[in-house]
Chains A and B, each alone.
Chain A
Amino acid sequence: MNNDFLQEFIEEAKQLLKSLEQSLLELEKNASSEEVNKVYRYLHTLKGSGGMFGFHNIERLSHELESVYSDIRDGIRQQDDFILDLTLHAVDVLADLLDGKDAEKDSEKIIQTIAGLKNRGQNTKSNSLGIADGALNCYAVMLKPEKEIFKRGINLSSILDELHELGGCEFIIHNEVVPFEKQLSNKEIVSWFEIIVATKTDIEGVRSVFLFLKESEYAVLPITFPEIFSSSSYQDHIALGPEEVERRLTIVQQLAPDLLHAETIALPATQNIAAALQPDEEILDDSENSDKIARRSKKSGHVSVATQKLDHLINIVSELVIFRSEMSHLMADTVQSQPIVEALEKLDRLTLSLRDSAFNIRLVPLNILNVKLQRLIRSVSKELNKEVDFITEGLDTELDRSMINALEAPLMHIIRNAIDHGIEKPEERERRNKPRKGLLKFYSYNSGDHVFIQLQDDGNGLDFEKIKAKGIEKGLLSKNQNYSEKELINLMMSPGFSTAEKVTTVSGRGVGMDVVKRDITAMRGDIEVSTEKGLGSIFTLRLPLTLTVLDTLVVEVAKNKYLIPINEVEHCYKEQHEALFSKKSRQIKYDGQLTPFVSLREHFSINEFNKEETVIVINKNDTRIAVVVDGIIGKLQTVYKPLNELLHSADCFSGASILGDGSMALILNALKLRN
């Protein structure tokens, strides 16, 4: 077998597993026959190509799973949590099998479980067919609560929850001038809601949800034909343009695929939406799978490239950038004609834009973490009997691929902590007048050269009493002293501290917040925590856009050049050598505080000093240190290169970079200079 093809198959199969996972999670939220079909198709494709490439274990396992989903699709079997859990587990096992790991036993177990499932199914077959499911009905609900509805002791969130319990639900929030969550917490509603519900309940059942509402606050309209959205009874509530009508038809199509079926065929417009929604439908049909997947990738305009090739490109571009600086360096010294200067400037611009787009290729949206996070939240909240809603915003924010990989563990840890320690049990929440379901919000955005990621929960907030008690117990704090919240948060993130009592499988994985902090710092990022007792906490991660480009200040010490990341530099000034070194303690007064300084000449054991020294005040993670150098040469954007393993003992340098003239300069890690 050609090795290239094999590698390609593995890549594609992994992609397939990801889509499968996504569909399964979708299925849990909304058991539409569309999604069941997708799952079935993914498994089918996997079975086919697995067999073709000699992965017979994958072929067999996917075959068994496929048969379960074909039963579900044909209505012989009911989709349930057990099957879903089993399939999700199988996805992991399949991934292991792909990686060549020894997962035969797990695979065999799943196959046996499925066999058991089939026997059970046969016994109860007649039964389950006896309880025929009622057909899905669709309703549009216009919910216009009074601004002060909370004053009547009516809990709007529980009404919305109740709607969710009826079946598939899609909310359209109108007039959201204030974010909805904010409206809930302010107890003042300014929005109104258009909700499309697909349920087996009749209209009276839907209306009973609004028992406590006034007639003027809601209306329930049955959706029985596609034109309803343009009808006057609908337009009385809200006037919809053609696009908005289409959007609602799509929702109905998703929630209750069979409902408007006959009509959609008659209506060319709606048929188009359905087609646009499922671009892969006709392509991914049967047989010749790999070819089909290739065609699909083409259609969506994506090319997958091996990371190695990409890294190589980045390296070449990096060198080109360096060479460009070298060129301008050389040219600056010689007399030159106007045309050459212009040509050089053009080269400058081109190299820079080439560099930017090359770096951009490495950027991937955070979205690729979504499925993993969702699964984590699902399993953790199940394990701890907590109910959690996960809301994401800004998942299209892009970050360097290597950063996203490195981010996974810290994010998972923070989420695990938030569910374990932050969000309370449903009963507890109800007692505190909070909605039963905890809210976990993932929010990310770009700002300048940085990406911010916020994880917000509406749980109990950090328990400072507990942190303090633990700190005292561990001998890290003194009993009689008062500590600020900031100090306690810092303590929480210092090594050797973990409030998790290591009983639960959830937070007792041996990693504490210190590891999170360390991971984030290693990415040249920051972590900040803000918390309010009883209301929840926000973890904010600030990360550089990419690990490879760095803005630095070039300084000189004894004819050697060193680099200091510019975002760490707080202040620079000149000072007479005498004045600096007059006192024994190596400290300067800056911003009203005594700040320690390190003279690099002294540090490198050079005993001659200049008359006039340059002091650079560095502020990293709120810790200040000053560095004394000979002088500042300038500002430079450089490409960061990690140091060789052998050099790690010299930890006052975090990396190296090549300067415009081709020489090398080390990047200072100022905080390590102190020791």
Chain B
Amino acid sequence: MNKQIVVAEDFNVSRKIIVSALTKEGFSVMEAIDGTDAASLFDGRPVDLLITDFNMPNMNGAELIKKVRSMKKYEYIPILLLTTEVKQEKIQQAIDGNITAHIKKPFDAQEFIKVVKKALR
């Protein structure tokens, strides 16, 4: 079975770029347009990786991550957080100790895939 990746990103163009880069590598991708949408995908199905934006309507990245981590099945899955500003105090506090790595936007596609593959090991 292919690796199942959930991509949560409200900005359509960004999400399409990410999704196309991932599908090209042969991953199965489930898209979510905001935090609530993404959270609904964590319904017990197998998910191998979550890639999420921080600033999203309805439920932001930090809340989404907290929710995902609270579910037994997804307690230890790798999570990559897309951010524009890594050093923001607020973000740092909200997600510290919960995510696998930050990916700073904009990013180089090759570099991005490398990180995704590593997170999926």
Q: Which residues of A contact B (CB under 8 A)?
A: 146, 148, 150-155, 158, 161-162, 187, 211-212, 427, 431, 433
Q: Is B57 located at the chain interface by the 8 A CB criterion?
A: no
Asked if B42 is at the interface of the complex by the 8 Å CB criterion, the answer is no
B119 touches A153 (CB 8 A): yes
The reply to whether the CB of B21 lies closer than 8 angstroms to some CB of chain A is no
Q: What are 12 A-B contacts with C-beta separation under 8 Å?
A: A146-B97, A148-B97, A151-B75, A152-B98, A152-B99, A153-B78, A153-B99, A161-B121, A187-B76, A211-B115, A431-B1, A431-B46
Residues of A within 8 A of B121 (CB): 155, 158, 161-162
Known: A158-B121, A431-B1, A431-B46. A153 touches B97 (CB 8 A): no
Q: Is the CB of B118 within 8 A of A212?
A: yes
Q: Complex Cα distance A612/B35, Å?
A: 84
Q: Is B69 an interface residue (CB 8 A)?
A: yes
Within the complex, what minimum Cβ distance (angstroms) separates A493 from chain B? 35
- B residues near A (Cβ < 8 Å) are 1, 46, 69, 75-79, 97-101, 115, 118-119, 121
Q: Which of B77, B98, B121 has the most CB of A within 10 A?
A: B121
Q: How far is the CB of B2 from chain A (nearest CB, A)?
A: 10
Contact, CB under 8 Å: A152 / B46? no
B97's partner among A152, A427, A433 (CB-CB below 8 A) is A152
Considering the chains assembled together, what is the distance between the CA atoms of A158 and B76 in angstroms? 13
Chain B residue nearest to A150 in the complex (CB): B76
A156 → B minimal CB distance (Å)? 10
Given A151-B75, A151-B98, A155-B76, 19 additional A-B pairs, CB 8 A: A146-B97, A150-B76, A151-B69, A151-B76, A152-B97, A152-B98, A152-B99, A153-B76, A153-B99, A153-B100, A155-B78, A155-B121, A161-B121, A187-B75, A211-B101, A212-B100, A212-B119, A427-B1, A431-B46
**For A162, what are the chain B residues with a Cβ–Cβ distance below 8 Å?**
121
CB distance from B82 to the nearest CB of A (A): 15
The interface residues of chain A lying within 8 Å CB-to-CB of B77 are: 153, 433
Set of chain A residues within 8 Å of B76, measured between Cβ atoms: 150-151, 153, 155, 187, 433
Q: How far is the CA of A161 from the CA of B78 in the complex (A)?
A: 17
CB-CB < 8 A to A150: which residues of B? 76
How many A-B residue contacts, CB cutoff 8 Å?
Answer: 42
CB distance from A216 to the nearest CB of B (A): 13
B97 in contact with A212 (CB, 8 Å): no
Could you say which residues of chain A place their CB within 8 Å of the CB of B99? 152-153
Please give, as numbers and ranges, the residues of chain A lying within 8 Å of B79 by CB-CB distance: 152-153
Interfacial chain B residues near A427, Cβ < 8 Å: 1
Q: Which residues of A contact B101 (CB under 8 A)?
A: 211-212
Closest to A432 in B: B46
Query: Which residues of B sit under 8 angstroms from A146, Cβ to Cβ?
Result: 97
Q: Which residue of A lies closest to B69 (CB)?
A: A151
Distance in angstroms from A25 CB to nearest chain B CB is 27
Q: Which residue of A lies closest to B100 (CB)?
A: A153
Q: How far is the CB of B105 from chain A (nearest CB, A)?
A: 18
Contacts of A433 in B (CB 8 A): 76-77
Determine the distance from Cα of A151 to Cα of B74 in the docked complex, in whole angstroms. Answer: 10
Asked whether A154 and B46 contact (CB < 8 A) given A148-B97, A212-B118, the answer is no
On whether the beta carbons of B119 and A151 are closer than 8 Å, the reply is: no
A152 contact set on B, CB distance < 8 A: 79, 97-100
Give bound CA distance, A271 to B119, whole Å.
43
Closest beta carbon of chain B to A429's beta carbon, Å: 12
Across-interface contacts of B115 in A (CB, < 8 A): 211
On chain B, the residues within 8 Å of A161 by CB distance are 121
A162 to B119 CA separation, bound complex (whole angstroms): 12
**Chain A neighbourhood of B97, CB < 8 A:** 146, 148, 151-152
Cα-based distance from A431 to B4 in the complex (angstroms): 10
Most buried by B among A150, A161, A212: A212
A154 / chain B contacts, CB cutoff of 8 Å: 78, 100
What is the bound-complex CA distance between A433 and B1, given in angstroms? 14
B83 CB to closest chain A CB (Å) equals: 15
CB distance from A636 to the nearest CB of B (A): 58
In the complex, the chain B residue whose C-beta lies closest to that of A209 is: B118
Listed residue (B76, B98, B119) with the most chain A CB atoms within 10 angstroms of its CB: B76
Contacts of A158 in B (CB 8 A): 121
Q: CA–CA, A39 to B76, complex, Å?
A: 45
Closest residue on chain B to residue A153 by CB atoms: B78
Minimum C-beta distance from A301 to chain B (A): 47
A427 to chain B: closest residue by CB: B1
Q: Which residues of B contact A212 (CB under 8 A)?
A: 100-101, 118-119
* Distance in angstroms between the alpha carbons of A211 and B120 in the assembled complex: 13
Residues of A within 8 A of B78 (CB): 153-155
Expressed in whole angstroms, the minimum distance between the Cβ of B80 and any Cβ of chain A is: 9
The 8 closest A-B pairs by CB, nearest first: A153-B78, A158-B121, A153-B100, A212-B101, A150-B76, A153-B79, A212-B100, A153-B77
> Which residues of A sit under 8 angstroms from B119, Cβ to Cβ?
153, 212
Smallest CB gap from B50: residue in A: A153
Residue of A nearest to B1 (CB): A431
Min C-beta distance of B78 to chain A, whole Å: 4
CB distance from A214 to the nearest CB of B (A): 10
- Which B residue sits closest to A433, measured CB to CB? B76
Q: In the complex, how many angstroms separate the beta carbon of B95 from the nearest chain A beta carbon?
A: 10
With a cutoff of 8 Å between Cβ atoms, the chain A residues found around residue B69 in the complex are: 151
- Does A211 lie within 8 Å of B1, measured CB to CB? no
Closest to B99 in A: A152
Nearest neighbor of B78 in chain A, beta-carbon distance: A153
User: Across the two chains, which residue of chain A brings its CB closest to B80?
Assistant: A153
CB neighbours of B100 from chain A (8 A)? 152-154, 212
Interchain nearest-CB distance for A150 vs B (Å): 5
Distance A427 CA – B2 CA, assembled complex (angstroms): 10
Residue ID in chain B nearest A154 by CB atoms: B100
Q: What is the bound-complex CA distance between A150 and B69, given in angstroms? A: 11
Q: How far is the CB of B111 from chain A (nearest CB, A)?
A: 11
The smallest beta-carbon distance between B26 and chain A, in angstroms, is 14
Query: Which chain B residue shows the least CB distance to A148?
Result: B97
State A146–B98 Cα separation when bound (angstroms). Answer: 12
Determine which residue in A150, A151, A152, A153 has the highest number of CB atoms from chain B within 10 A of its CB, and name it. A153
| Distance between A151 CB and nearest chain B CB, rounded to angstroms | 6
- Residues in B whose Cβ lies below 8 Å from that of A431: 1, 46
Complexed CA–CA distance, A427 and B99 (Å): 24
Expressed in whole angstroms, the Cα–Cα distance for A518 and B69 within the complex equals 49
State in angstroms the CA–CA spacing of A155 and B121 once bound together.
8
Residue of B nearest to A146 (CB): B97
User: How far does the alpha carbon of A155 sit from the alpha carbon of B76 in the complex, in Å?
Assistant: 8
